[in-house]
Amino acid sequence: MRVLGIEGTAWAASAALYDGPTDTVHIETEAYQPESGGIHPREAAEHMAEYLPKVAESVLSKAQAQSDGRPVDAVAFSRGPGLGPCLRLAGTTARAVAQRLDVPLVGVNHMVAHLEIGRHRSGLSSPVCLNASGANAHILGYRTGRYRVLGETMDTGVGNAIDKFTRHVGWSHPGGPKVEQAATDSEYVGLPYVVKGMDFSFSGIMSAAKDAVDNGTPVEDVCHGLQENIFAMLTEVSERALSLTGSDELVLGGGVGQNQRLQSMLASMCAQRGADFFVPGNRFLRDNAGMIAVLGSKMYAADDTVAIDASAIDSEFRPDQVPVTWRGANKQ
């Protein structure tokens, strides 16, 4: 089975081909880079309008060159959550291709795809997942047909919080890699640490970090404190989720997951518990259509497709709204 994936939730205009028999994923992405500030929804949508058709056609022509018949068996697209204007263009692109090729359409939840790519590539059977991305931060665990949200941010996504801080100090988007770089070889600065039960909050620590820089603390030291506290909060709640569920498997998802310090905190926590820990490669952590194509293939195999006229996007689509159809009878 071969599936075309289309991703367009925020910054990545991306298309991918998943080839089931060889378990290979080919991804092509055009990244939106704001000239100033953070992601502007209108500019991001213009980027999608320009590049989604191009990456989709490029991947399709590669698929066609490898096939005697139809290039793909299904088209999967990110249905949400994300920026509405971008999602609408991803949906329109996917519908147009599915209709033209006369193949089924699959509507994928972007956050479940962040989880499933880790499960798929690790071979772990039922891991807990920490999704640390730009617009989201939550911990998911599977129970009775759904991915349950075991803990989540009470305010902003983790990457968005970091990016707001870096905008404040005048650094260009995205801020996460710059904070990671600045945090090496600098001193720890104490900042708020907010975990409430299974949930966490980033707004207080971000305000304190901005104030610290405004009051003369070296920005590198503030970056160090930010990373230590934010990632320790995520690690603490991930550990509690493992304990609560009795699971001994953790996978990481989302663009912030590319951070080496976060990976090393989670790895040592898992090592201390004797739990398996898996990090997909960077090309599967940041937004990408490969994860959409892979989950799309599982949903297609489970007959979990959507009619064109019922395939509206949902910018607030939560992972626990998704009936997990692909983990039962067909054992995917």
Output the 3-class SS for 249-285.
Answer: EEEEECHHHHCHHHHHHHHHHHHHHCCEEECCCHHHH
CB atoms within 10 A of CB 299: 26
Residue whose CB is less far from ligand ATP, 104 or 319: 319
CB 136 within 8 A of CB 254: yes
Residue whose CB is less far from ligand ATP, 5 or 174: 174
Q: Indicate whether 258 belongs to the interface with ligand ATP (CB under 6 A).
A: yes
Quote the least distance from Cβ 75 to ligand ATP, whole Å: 20
Q: Indicate whether 259 belongs to the interface with ligand ATP (CB under 6 A).
A: yes
Q: Indicate whether 254 belongs to the interface with ligand ATP (CB under 6 A).
A: yes
Q: Indicate whether 249 belongs to the interface with ligand ATP (CB under 6 A).
A: no
Q: Indicate whether 290 belongs to the interface with ligand ATP (CB under 6 A).
A: no
The amino acid sitting at 223 is C
CB 299 within 8 A of CB 326: yes
Residue whose CB is less far from ligand ATP, 177 or 192: 177
Alpha-carbon span 277 to 282, nearest angstrom: 15
Alpha-carbon span 187 to 217, nearest angstrom: 10
Q: Indicate whether 280 belongs to the interface with ligand ATP (CB under 6 A).
A: no
Q: Name which position in 287, 297, 298, 306 contacts ligand ATP (CB under 6 A).
A: 287
Q: Name which position in 176, 290, 296, 319 contacts ligand ATP (CB under 6 A).
A: 176
Alpha-carbon span 315 to 48, nearest angstrom: 16
* Strand pairing category for 24-31 and 12-19: antiparallel
Q: Indicate whether 157 belongs to the interface with ligand ATP (CB under 6 A).
A: yes
Q: Is 212 helix (H, G, I), strand (E, B) or coil?
A: helix
Q: Indicate whether 319 belongs to the interface with ligand ATP (CB under 6 A).
A: no
Segment interacting with ligand ATP (CB under 6 A) among 97-105, 129-137, 203-211, 269-277: 129-137
Q: Indicate whether 177 belongs to the interface with ligand ATP (CB under 6 A).
A: yes
Alpha-carbon span 317 to 5, nearest angstrom: 18
Q: Indicate whether 174 belongs to the interface with ligand ATP (CB under 6 A).
A: yes
Quote the least distance from Cβ 329 to ligand ATP, whole Å: 29
Residue whose CB is less far from ligand ATP, 94 or 262: 262
Q: Indicate whether 117 belongs to the interface with ligand ATP (CB under 6 A).
A: no
Alpha-carbon span 13 to 28, nearest angstrom: 8
Query: Residue 83: CA atoms inside 13 Å, Cβ hemisphere, count?
Result: 22
Quote the least distance from Cβ 320 to ligand ATP, whole Å: 15
How many binding residues for ligand ATP (CB under 6 A)?
Answer: 26
* Strand pairing category for 276-278 and 249-253: parallel
Q: Indicate whether 52 belongs to the interface with ligand ATP (CB under 6 A).
A: no
Q: Indicate whether 127 belongs to the interface with ligand ATP (CB under 6 A).
A: no
Strand partners, 128: 250
Q: Indicate whether 136 belongs to the interface with ligand ATP (CB under 6 A).
A: yes
